[in-house]
Structure 1
Amino acid sequence: MTRRLPLARRAAPFLLAAALPAALSAQRAPTDTMANEQVAGYDWVRPEADYVRRTEMVPMRDGTRLYTVIVYRKGTHDAPILLSRTPYDADKATSRNRSQLIEEILPVADAEFVDDGYIRVYQDVRGLGKSEGDYVMNRPLRGPLNPTKVDHATDAYDTIDWLVKNVRESNGKVGITGSSYLGFTSLMALIDPHPALKAAVPQSPMVDGWMGDDWFHNGAFRTFGFDYDLSQTVKAGGGAVPKGGGDEYAAYLAAGSAGDYARHYGLLDLPVVRKVLEHPSYDSWWQGQAVDKLLGARKLTVPTMLVVGQWDQEDSYGAPAVYQALEGQDPDNQLVSLVIGPWRHSQVNYEARELGPLKWEGDTGRQFRTRWMKPFLDCHLKTEPAPCDTPPVLTYATGENRWEVSPRWPAGQYRPLYLAGGASLSWQKPAAGSDSYVSDPAKPVPMLPRPIHMQGEEWRTWLVHDQRFVDGRPDVLSYTGAVLNQPVHIKGAPKVDLRAATTGRDGDFVVKLIDVYPEENSADPAMAGYQLALGIEIFRGRYVNGFATPAALTPGKTYKFDWSLPNVDHVFLPGHRIMVQVQSSLFPLYDRNPQSWVPSIMDARPRDYVKATQTVRWGGDAASAVWLPVADDSPAGAATAAN
């Protein structure tokens, strides 16, 4: 049966249409058909919108004004403020759709907050978007590296001070959050914080650009930083480096060194590129910007929940590093907590049911935001909050796919898994031996099957790509344990202890920890035989005696190279096997090591790139191993099941 509207409601549109020309005629003078038809602006927030969207130019202590967008649902009062300070356009962040519904204009992750009366604030950092002032990439804290009186700490302070005095709908309590660069600005707000700042949730923060975040990892330069530098620091004509849409492996290989690449594409015109190229080692310039060191030297006063993804392809280092720097100040677990989810970079703020071929139990991003992040912010920001019940450490155990709470991190006891003869792994130290391979800079090991495009979904999921594409290469060593008969649960950052020598005078080493799925897997055929990397990390050999003191290696000498893989909570299931791969390049993500000695690899010339034989030693007095943080809940004897 057709449902008919009442006559008055059916007739109204026709009456309105008939009256419209007359109404327009009464309101507007006749239009000159040849006049300029562009108008100055258009307010897309209509009177019927269910929200208020204010824009303000908030003054800083030096007179610079920062563009700030304030959004809240109509009728909001006595409300906490949730602030994000962004280099990625506050207008864009608050106009996802030009809608009259608040959930539609804001990012998906904001819905839970504005639906519960939060005031959401986004601000352009100084020099970007519509904010005034000069932009400096990751502007250092005022001091030796910043002779001015302003930085992200002072800007956050001044912004919060203005907000609590000028947003009448607020209750005077502010939290700060955001991912990546926004995670960095969230952390900087904790340095000399405003009294109204009551909680922080920095996500995947940029913390130390040399040790393990965006620009270097353990001394090896990450080439994708050039694209980021260009997009962030050029007012017009920025974006990606104009190398075309072909295979990035070929493009970087043809360019030569990182310095040659920068010169070829005119990137030396960018001050930030010149700074990075001029500081290839971990000198005072990098150390003075390391946010974990800055925070560790101060007393933390603001409750902070640090968040990172287990497969964060950009900033896996920062959040755990800050946690380690601050956790000693917090014996009662009242101020700092750590969250590791099964995510790529920033995926916590999106739908997170899967990552590449991996499927989780529901939307893990929303689970975290609703079950833990919002209650954490509520208990510190609301006027009459519920008691705080924040887990000290919250992680997602991949493999068995469940959330877990731990009292500390790492949450396992480290046990060495030794590289052994016959390309095997053993929980017992084997007799001495070695394996060798030739590393050729002219044919570096690719990070992904070619052609490679370090963008889009390929970039977001490269860390979970099946590693069988390099297993069997002559310049990749694969060590595999026996089939597990019991689960092995690891919770922490696996530690690499690699004893190796080279015929060159420098060299890189890459180690991968891999979960090898059974060859027969009818429950999920796409994962049959899959080699899932749980951690991939590089070490540049010249820094074996100190990151600030690069030196040539002695050919043939066995060195002890120590570094850590990313933090992980994972269960190797029965029927699976553990694998460790060793190689000497991961291209083009990291620049090539010439394997001869040059003062700066950034300026290596074509003749400097030479082949070298790399020898990995195992057993005896030079026992290479990956130390795994085996959790207490691993069954008794599980650790020996890989023998």
Structure 2
Amino acid sequence: MSLDAVYRRHLDITVEYDVPARMRDGTTLYADLYRPTRGGPFPVLLMRLPYDKTQAENLTYHHPAWYARQGFMVVVQDTRGRWRSEGDFYPFAFEAEDGYDTVEWAASLPGSNGRVGMYGFSYVGATQLLAATQRPPSLRAICPGLTASQYYDGWTYNGGAFALAFCASWATQLAIDTAKRRGDDTATAQLAAAFMQAPAWYSSLPLKEYPPLAATGLAPYFFDWLEHSSYDEYWRRWSIDEDYSQITVAALHIGGWYDIFIHGTVKNFAGLRREAGDENARRMQKLLVGPWYHLPWGQVTGCVDFGPEARNIVDLWQLRWLKQFLMDEDTGVLDSPVTVFVMGINEWRDFDDWPPPGVVERDFYLHSAGAANSINGNGRLNLDPPGGEPPDVYTYDPLFPTPSAGGRSCCFATIAPMGPADQAAVEISNGVLVYTSAPLERDLMVVGPVRATLYAASSAHDTDFTVKLCDVGPAGQSINIAQGIVRARFRESLSQPSLITPGEVHEYRIDLGPTAHVFRRGHQIRVQVSSSDFPHWDRNLNTGGELGAEGAAAARVATQIVLHQHDYASRITLPVLEE
């Protein structure tokens, strides 16, 4: 019995493979179609992805056959230059126009009722949002999952630092298909091996000669990303958050608290809720965030079991969303604009907005007797502004950086450190300042954006400062909750970098992103301060030289001074929600 016969007999659906769609410039893209065998016409559910249409991101979602059985015609298309589709691939470049053309093509397919929805996560969230900026008339709803608001800050860079583990491994993964399309067995094998062994390559310098990609020339965009190290027109042309008024479609924004793109996911929801192109669209925005990293999604993320409530419920939410807007069923999906999983108490909560009404920002100040180095130091954290305290001093050597322990990266935990993790191996280092509160006398709910303000000086012309928020349990285990970085030259602007003067005190504002977490009674709040989190981000060589262009011999040790006194009140700001 053929696979098609199995689909028809046991699932009551039919499948068409490699259905051509001609784009406005004559390029043909190919899709697989899944449709119910009886009834119709049907609304269309479209996924456009660069990762092989036969898989349809089924590492996280139900198979397209499942959606077809719910009454949708499902169209899964290889994007331009990927797998079966014609053309040349370049990330983000063609997704807006190709997305518009594909939506309207899908709406006109035999058996379609003319209504189109889209779904998918990561890059496939970008294919939805970029298509939506073109306002295709047949597009009624989208479900962008775990995706960003732009592709400079929050995707390729964070606070001016290059997201090394993600970008290097992702570009290598993309290049594998390009090599396959060219029939290059040698390059395909080399790239596949480099992807699986990615952690062994992250230390390669200079980055602009990254060996796995420089050797093949099959991912030129990786080197373009390095060349455009500041936010310029290269990035601005693809930035969703430059103008949310372009979008007038209902959107279910799905995120994970440990996902690399959580900043952008939340920003897209808030931006479209306030600035979408019409009032109706502004009312039709929904935020759903679980305690997940990029993939897979389930109750166990990293070293934490968040309980059965944290299981993957995304398909069920998407089904409600799509039935609401493509089938005119009242599913109650918009009863609350925000539904998020609150870690610590491991419960789903509904809120009226993001950040939730009633959130109050509270400053927790860094204190020490001048030796907050490591878990063995005297760093403290409390609500009292600092007095005349001595600063803390540490050194940062780019050739021996602070290692990443979990965090928000992508896309596989074996390739890039991500998720909640025990911080013991990090906090034992004297190159990490550790500030810890007294045990809490009652639960503290933190829901919203977290940010840090550091007053610091460096011996270098350029350097990095990292901040990590952690929850310390009664047994002493420290688990990361949120993290952030700022590259000193980008402290004032991501578009116009400026070096620092050695020895001069500067204010550094560091975005740690959003979270929803309860620090339980008896737990402690901890803040780590360092100058690297590698390989999550690339290493600053402390020279002030061209980013990505210098080799290991150029690296310089930087002496860092963090102040917490009178006019230099270094602190972390937590959004606290009283219950």
TM-score (norm 1): 0.80
Match of 1:116 in 2: 70
Residue aligned with 2:419, SS: helix
Using a 3 Å threshold, how does the CA distance of structure 1 residues 389 and 107 change in structure 2: closer, same or farther? closer
Q: How has the CA–CA distance of structure 1 residues 454 and 128 changed in structure 2, closer, same or farther, with 3 Å as cutoff? A: closer
- Residues of 2 paired with 1:109 and 1:400: CA distance? 32
Please show how residues 139-158 of structure 1 align to structure 2 within 5 Å: 139=93, 151-158=94-101
Residue aligning to 2:353: 408
Separation in structure 1 between the aligned mates of residue 74 and residue 218 of structure 2, nearest angstrom: 37
Offset from partner CA, 1:211-267 (integer Å, 9 cap, x none):
111x22111112232232232143333474755977936x443x3331243489526
Deviation at 1:271, TM superposition (A): 1.9
CA-CA distance at 1:289 after TM superposition: 2.0
Alignment RMSD: 2.7
* 1:485 partnered with 2:434: no
CA deviation digits over 1:373-405, x for unaligned, max 9? 322221111055556634211111011111111
Q: Is the 8 A contact 1:513 1:536 kept in 2?
A: yes
In structure 1, the residue matched to 2:3 is: 44
SS at match of 2:566: coil
Match of 1:560 among 494, 504, 507: 507
C-alpha distance in structure 2 between counterparts of 1:106 and 1:446, whole Å: 29
**Which letter does structure 2 place at the counterpart of 1:436?**
V
Deviation of residue 336 (structure 1)? 1.9
User: In the TM superposition, what whole-angstrom CA distance separates every residue of 1:71-99 from its partner, at most 9, and x where no partner exists?
Assistant: 133224243221110001112339x7xxx
User: For the structure 1 residues 440 and 461, does the alpha-carbon distance in structure 2 shift closer, same or farther, using more than 3 Å as the test?
Assistant: closer
CA distance in 1, matches of 2:44, 2:283: 22
Pairing 1:450-469 to 2, within 5 Å after superposition: 456-459=412-415, 462-469=418-425
- 1:79 matched to 2:37? The reply is no
Any unmatched runs of 5+ in structure 2? 181-186, 369-377
1:318–1:240 distance in 2 versus 1, CA, 3 Å: farther
Structure 1: unaligned runs, 5 residues or longer: 1-41, 97-104, 140-150, 520-528, 634-643
Residue number among 106, 109, 125 corresponding to 2:79 in the alignment: 125
Which residue does the alignment assign to 1:516? Answer: 472
611 and 83 in structure 1: CA distance in 2 versus 1, 3 angstrom threshold: same
Alignment match, 1:88: 51
Q: Deviation per CA, 1:297-332, whole angstroms, max 9, x where unpaired? A: x243211111111001x3233212222332223678
Q: CA deviation at 1:552?
A: 1.7
The answer to whether the 8 Å contact 1:512/1:580 transfers is yes
Aligned length: 548
Measure the CA separation in 2 of the matches of 1:243 and 1:386.
46
Q: Distance in 1 between matches of 2:505 and 2:335?
A: 46
Residue matched to 2:382: 426
Cα distance in 2 between the residues matched to 1:341 and 1:245: 28
Q: Is the 8 A contact 2:339 2:348 kept in 1?
A: yes
2:132 partner SS: coil
Match of 1:340 among 283, 289, 300: 289
Q: Which residue of 2 aligns with 1:3?
A: none
- The offset of 1:290, in angstroms, is 1.6
The residue number in structure 1 matching 2:569 is 623
In the aligned structure 2, how far is the partner of 1:62 from the partner of 1:247?
A: 37
| Aligned residue identity for 1:378 | K
Are 2:399 and 1:442 aligned?
yes
Alignment of 1:378 onto 2:323: yes
Q: Secondary structure at the match of 2:230?
A: coil
- Mapped to 2, the partners of 1:474 and 1:413 lie a distance apart of 34
Mean Cα deviation higher: 156-165 or 466-475: 156-165
Aligned to 2:374: none
Structure 1 residue corresponding to 2:249, chosen from 291, 294, 302: 302
Structure 2 CA distance for partners of 1:461 and 1:339, relative to 1, 3 Å: farther
Asked if 1 retains the 8 angstrom alpha-carbon contact of 2:323 and 2:329, the reply is: no
Query: What aligned pairs does 1:306-321 form with structure 2 within 5 A after superposition?
Result: 306-312=253-259, 314-321=260-267
Distance 1:263 1:172, change over 3 A: closer
Residue number in structure 2 paired with 1:397: 342
2:392–2:561 Cα contact (<8 Å) kept: yes
Give the one of 429, 452, 456 matched to 1:473: 429
Q: Is the 8 A contact 2:172 2:195 kept in 1?
A: no
Distance 1:230 1:460, change over 3 A: closer
Separation (CA, whole Å) in 2 of partners of 1:624 and 1:395 = 30
> Are the counterparts in 2 of residues 425 and 480 from structure 1 also a CA contact under 8 Å?
yes
Q: Is the 8 A contact 1:81 1:174 kept in 2?
A: yes
* Structure 2 letter corresponding to 1:67: Y
Name the structure 1 match of 2:183.
Answer: none
Q: CA separation of 1:176/1:318 partners in 2, compared to 1, >3 Å: closer, same or farther?
A: same
Matched, 1:286 2:286: no
Alignment partner of 2:235: what SS?
helix
How far off is 1:112 after superposition? 5.9
What percentage of aligned pairs have identical amino acids?
Answer: 28
Find the aligned partners of 1:427 and 1:134 in 2 and give their Cα distance: 55
Task: Give the direction of change, closer, same or farther, for the CA distance of 1:377–1:244 in structure 2 (3 Å limit).
Answer: closer
Q: In structure 2, how many angstroms separate the alpha carbons of the residues matched to 1:461 and 1:554?
A: 33
| Aligned partner of residue 567 in structure 1, secondary structure | strand
Residue pairs, 1:575-590, within 5 angstroms: 575-590=522-537
**Take 2:64 and 2:350, find their aligned partners in 1: how far apart are those partners?**
25
* SS of equivalent to 2:9: coil
> What TM-score, normalized by structure 2, do the two folds share?
0.88
Question: Does 1:248 pair with 2:189?
Answer: no
Q: Could you tell me which of 147, 152, 168 is aligned with 1:226?
A: 168
The answer for the alignment partner of 1:68 in structure 2 is: 31
**Structure 1 residues 425-463: Cα deviation after superposition (integer angstroms, max 9, x where no partner):** 0112121331110111121111149xxx99744347633
Q: In structure 2, the residue corresponding to 1:432 is in which secondary structure?
A: coil
Structure 1 contact 463–536 (Cα < 8 Å) conserved: no
Whether the 8 Å CA contact 2:226–2:547 is kept in 1: the answer is no
Structure 2 CA distance, aligned partners of 1:334 and 1:430?
Answer: 44
Structure 2 distance, partners of 1:269, 1:244, is 14
Question: Offset of 1:160 from its aligned partner?
Answer: 2.1
Counterpart amino acid of residue 87 in structure 2: G
Q: Distance in 1 between matches of 2:343 and 2:332?
A: 30
Change (3 A) 1:502 1:217: same
Equivalent residues in 2 for 1:525-536 (5 A)?
529-536=476-483
1:329 aligns with 2:271: no
Q: Secondary structure of the equivalent of 1:317? A: helix
Per-residue CA deviations over 1:177-216 (Å, capped at 9, x if unaligned) read 1000100001112112222211111001244232111x22
| Contact 1:310–1:566 (8 Å) recurs in 2 | no
Higher mean displacement: 277-286 or 467-476: 277-286
User: In 2, distance between residues paired with 1:595 and 1:566?
Assistant: 25
Partner secondary structure for residue 575 of structure 1: coil
Aligned mates of 1:498, 1:533 — CA distance in 2: 19
1:137 aligns with 2:91: yes
Alpha-carbon spacing, 1:267–1:537, altered in 2? closer, same or farther (3 Å)? farther
Structure 2 distance, partners of 1:113, 1:552, is 53
C-alpha distance 414-435 of structure 1, shift in aligned 2 (>3 A)? same
Query: 2:107, 2:441 → 1: CA distance?
Result: 59
C-alpha separation in 1, matches of 2:301 and 2:40? 39
Residues 133-161 of structure 1 deviation map (CA, whole Å, 9 limit, x = unaligned)? 2211121xxxxxxxxxxx32222222222
Select between 222-231 and 587-596 the one with higher mean Cα deviation.
222-231
Flag the structure with higher strand content.
2
Task: Rate the CA distance shift 1:44–1:112 in 2: closer, same or farther, 3 A.
Answer: closer
Q: Select the residue among 152, 170, 177 that pairs with 1:210.
A: 152
With over 3 angstroms needed to count, the CA separation of the structure-2 counterparts of 1:76 and 1:188, relative to structure 1, is farther
Relative to structure 1, is the Cα distance of residues 107 and 339 closer, same or farther in structure 2, using a 3 angstrom cutoff?
Answer: closer
Q: 1:87 corresponds to which letter in structure 2?
A: P
CA contact (8 A) 2:47 2:124 kept: yes
